[in-house]
Amino acid sequence: MDTSTPVERKRAIGILTATTRDDWYAGRESLLQAAPANADRLRQLESAAFLVSLETTAPTTQEEFSLACHCGDGTSRYFDKNFQVLVFANGRYGFNGEHSLTDATTDMRLCNTMVHDAEAAAAAAEVCTELDTVAAWPEPQVTELAFELSDAVLGHIARAIDYFDATVAAHELSTLAFNEFGKEQIKKLGVSPDAFVQMAMQLAYYRQFRHVPATYESASTKAFARGRTETSRSVSEHSVAWCRAMVDQPEQTDLLAKADQLREAIAHQARFTAQCARGGGIDRHLLGLEYALQPHEPRPAVFDDAVFAASRHWRMSTSQISDPILAAYGWGEVVDDGFGVAYRIEGDALHFNVVSRRMGSARLCRYLSDALTDMRFLLANAHRQPHEIRAEVDAVAKVLTSIKLLSASPRRPLSPVSTPASAPSSSPVPEPESTADADPFRAPTAAEAAVAHAVVGELDRLPSNEIICALEMRLSRFMRESLSWALPSAT
């Protein structure tokens, strides 16, 4: 059914599933009472293995696509369904699922089968075979489930629309496509990519709110029969100490000490996540004990302890799915003052989907980008002294200036001195001679070209505008305010 018009939206029963459980129960009862035939139609809908929604919208950007899959306008969905295939007007497709029945590993197995079967069918020769025109089917292959709607049901639908629209308006969804590096570069730093990203999220949150939140990461227990998930608690004394050192102690410029703190926090998180996957977590065990309590049994004090309750108030609900078929994925927050953060780790990129109740999702994405860059810088440069890094900043600035002048000159094309790319980036760059300074279109000196090669690689293989962009990016990383903890006296 096309629910894109206001009139049809007022008659779409799917929106009833977008309300609270109590309101949906009341709406469902009204639907059953409206007409005896509604019971069989509802049974067909609810017993289906999955649903297909033919959407009228055509999302293009990552945020548009994520939001369209997350909720749409609420009327072409049945949010109780575990698996709904969404096909958009521009040919893109995705899915929406209710989480209680399955976890992401199961859903992704189904998604992969669906995608691979669709691609195989599209590539098959018989798909392109010409067929003679055949007579129309005597009966339609698709039959509308036409529900009879009473005034009471229409009232429930109207209230559900108001509730849905208000809920969507109260939320902010932002995405981050971080393309500076990915899994392969993180591995070269000698740390776990997943734990690296977890620490980046903690640093980003700490910079935004000045405290570390209770953070949930899903750890799969599929190694066990009927295994689902365990909670990998990302916050530790190691991660808190490192975040405080990065944000609250900018006067301390011992990069090696901060790098050691970061490595220990990452290692601890990687060990604990592996322990949880082996059944060594605590949250599912405590949850089982809590649910096993009988009404007449005394309630252990731990379940009402304020610290225990705070430790389960997941202001950061996170999980990773890095399946290559995904363009985006995500979910909402699990507490009103929290974030739902989905992330993907690719070979050369990192992707984030952040949802919150207007807590600052876009701002958290910006802090995430800064944190990732800072962490890579910290682990890669911990052995260097601040004055060495400042020397590189100065050298890059000089090279950038000379190359900009050269590229703007109609008299002399860009032709940097050929220098091996392995030249040390911390090599001192001598002050240019006064005669060279007098010529604004002079060629770069050998020392300047050596630094340029060390910074962006094979410089002579790049067009001049790409050289400038690469150097500007490198320079901005060192000079921007978020690196003040590393270079407090840099200007």
pLDDT, tens digit (0-9, with 9 covering 90-100), for 111-152: 888 888 777 766 666 555 565 666 666 666 778 888 999 999
**pLDDT score of 31 more than 90:** yes
pLDDT computed for residue 419 by the predictor: 38
Query: Does residue 448 register a pLDDT over 70?
Result: no
- pLDDT value for 435: 39
Residue range 468-478, pLDDT digits in tens: 555 555 555 54
Confidence check: pLDDT of 179 > 80: yes
pLDDT at 125: 60
Residue 432 confidence (pLDDT) above 90: no
Q: Mean of the pLDDT values across residues 283-288?
A: 94
- Flag whether pLDDT at 32 surpasses 90: yes
Q: What pLDDT is recorded for position 449?
A: 52
Predicted pLDDT of residue 471: 52
**Could you tell me the pLDDT band of residue 346, with boundaries at 50, 70 and 90?**
very high
C-alpha to C-alpha distance for 368 and 373, rounded to whole angstroms: 9
Angle at Cα 81 formed by Cα 104 and Cα 22, nearest 5°? 115
Give residue-wise pLDDT tens across range 86-111: 999 998 989 898 888 888 888 888 88
CA dihedral 237, 241, 247, 248 (to 10 degrees): 120
Confidence of residue 483 (pLDDT cuts 50, 70, 90): very low
Please determine, for residue 480, whether its predicted confidence score (pLDDT) is greater than 50. no
pLDDT over threshold 60, residue 490 = no
Q: What pLDDT was estimated at residue 254?
A: 77
Q: How confident is the model at residue 315 (pLDDT cuts 50, 70, 90)?
A: very high
In the prediction, which pLDDT does 416 show?
41
Q: What is the pLDDT of residues 182-223, one digit of tens each?
A: 999 999 999 999 999 999 999 999 999 999 999 999 999 989
pLDDT band at 252 (very low <50, low <70, confident <90, very high): low
CA proximity to 286, closest of 311, 264, 268: 311
Q: In percent, how much of the chain has pLDDT > 70?
A: 72
Q: Do residues 351 and 176 lie in contact, with contact meaning Cβ atoms separated by under 8 Å?
A: yes
pLDDT at residue number 484: 46
- Which one of 99, 211, 285, 313 is the catalytic residue? 99
Taking alpha carbons only, the member of 311, 232, 238 closest to residue 274 is 232
Which pLDDT belongs to residue 393?
Answer: 63
Query: What is the overall mean pLDDT for the chain?
Result: 81
pTM: 0.77
Q: 145 versus 280: which is more confidently predicted?
A: 280
* 268 included as an active-site residue: no
Beta strands 84-87 and 93-96 are antiparallel
**Residue type at position 136:** A
Question: Given this model, what pLDDT does residue 215 score?
Answer: 96
User: What pLDDT is stored for residue 18 in this prediction?
Assistant: 94
What's the pLDDT at 405?
54
Residue 280 has pLDDT above 60, yes or no: yes
